């Protein structure tokens, strides 16, 4: 990424709460990453990280993988990638720590995730977290791409309402504040969306018949962070464990509704 590109991204991040770096990862890298998670799915449950089950709900057959960097070498490499680090340190203005990884399959027919704020779950103190959301498929409105609400990154955490379980797998919902609206973010494999942990964002269901919407997500915090939720086991970008004191009220990203359908 060029210096000019980074400077432009930093300006947009400050103004809107997000920025997209196109083609940060090569298609071959994304294909390899997807192959790793296809193999993981074929291998069956990994307690505490990935627990699929037979169900009429696509998200039970293809649940998200939580903290895959703890069980998969390639996921750890992506989470700590130097290209991500360069952008993140430009956005945060300091060294960064990795706090979490996730992989979403989001198969056809899967529900989305209602509008929410990531720092509602991480409870970073002081400040907030930053997400690096790596597209692993062609992602658009049809297959449930992300929507963001620019400007909400300047606001405090909202008290969520209850989401609609027919369209969201997670319980929390934050309505766009008056005068602000969602903006869709279409992406290609290898694009990375960086966004502020206070930015309201979410996704609609995957309404396609045959397209997955796979994505790899890392959450990061500045090295000046003093506290974070107990679920988030922070690492330096060299991979060393950096324990932080616990903040209160935190939990895994997205409190899930009870499963849909038999399982």
> How many Cα atoms are found within 13 Å in the side-chain-facing hemisphere of 165?
9
Q: What is the pLDDT of residue 259?
A: 60
Q: Which distant-in-sequence residues (6+ apart) come within 8 Å of 79 by Cβ?
A: 69, 98, 101, 218, 235
- pLDDT (0 to 100) of residue 7: 84
- How large is the average pLDDT for residues 161-171? 96
- The angle at the Cα of 201, spanning 40 to 119, to the nearest 5 degrees, equals 80
Predicted pLDDT of residue 261: 44
Where does residue 48 fall: left (phi above 0), alpha (psi -120 to 50 degrees), or beta otherwise?
left
The pLDDT of residue 258 is above 80: no
Give one DSSP letter per residue of 57-94, joined into a string.
SHHHHSPPEESGGGT-HHHHHHHT-HHHHHHHHHHHSS
Predicted local distance difference test score (pLDDT) of residue 257? 74
Domains and CATH numbers, the chain: 3-236 (2.60.120.620)
Residues near 124 by beta carbon (within 8 Å), at least 6 away in sequence: 99, 197, 221, 225, 227, 228, 247
For residues 68-89, give the mean pLDDT: 98
Peptide bond into 103 cis (omega under 30): no
Residue 4 pLDDT: 62
In the chain, pLDDT over 90 holds for what percent of residues? 91
Q: What is the pLDDT of residue 3?
A: 60
Per residue in 131-157, pLDDT tens? 999 999 999 999 999 999 999 999 999
- CA triple 165-167-169, angle to 5 deg: 60
pLDDT at residue number 262: 39
Q: Residue 17: which pLDDT band, with cuts at 50, 70 and 90?
A: very high
pLDDT at 2: 64
- What's the mean pLDDT in 89-107? 98
Q: Please give the Cα distance from 85 to 95 (Å, whole number).
A: 8
Specify the DSSP element, H or E, that contains 121: helix 119-122
State the pLDDT confidence band at 22, using cuts at 50, 70 and 90.
very high
Q: Torsion angle, CA of 72/73/78/79, rounded to 10 degrees?
A: 70
Q: What is the pLDDT of residue 5?
A: 72
Query: Over the chain, what is the mean pLDDT?
Result: 95
């Amino acid at each position: 990424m060029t210096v000019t590109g980074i400077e432009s991204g930093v300006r947009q991040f400050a103004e809107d709460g997000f920025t997209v770096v196109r083609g940060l990862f090569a298609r071959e890298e994304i294909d390899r990453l997807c192959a790793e998670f296809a193999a993981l799915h074929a291998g069956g449950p990994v307690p505490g990280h990935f627990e699929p089950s037979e169900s009429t709900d696509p998200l039970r057959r293809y649940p998200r993988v939580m903290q895959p960097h703890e069980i998969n070498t390639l996921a750890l490499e992506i989470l700590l990638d130097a290209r991500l680090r360069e952008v993140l340190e430009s956005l945060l203005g300091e060294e960064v720590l990795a706090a979490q990884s996730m992989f979403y399959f989001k198969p056809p027919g899967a529900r989305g995730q209602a509008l929410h704020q990531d720092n509602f779950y991480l409870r970073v103190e002081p400040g907030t977290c930053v997400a690096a959301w790596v597209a692993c498929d062609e992602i658009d409105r049809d297959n449930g791409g992300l929507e963001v609400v620019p400007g909400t990154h300047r606001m405090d955490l909202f008290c969520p309402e209850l989401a609609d379980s027919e369209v969201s797998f997670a319980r929390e919902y934050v309505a766009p504040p008056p005068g602000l609206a969602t903006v869709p973010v279409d992406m290609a494999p290898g694009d990375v969306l960086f966004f502020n942990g206070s930015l309201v964002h979410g996704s609609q269901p995957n309404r396609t018949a045959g397209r997955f919407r796979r994505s790899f997500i890392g959450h990061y915090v500045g090295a000046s962070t003093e506290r974070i939720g107990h679920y988030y086991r922070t690492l330096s970008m060299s991979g060393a464990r950096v324990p932080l004191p616990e903040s209160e009220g935190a939990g895994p990203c997205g409190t899930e509704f009870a499963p849909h359908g038999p399982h």
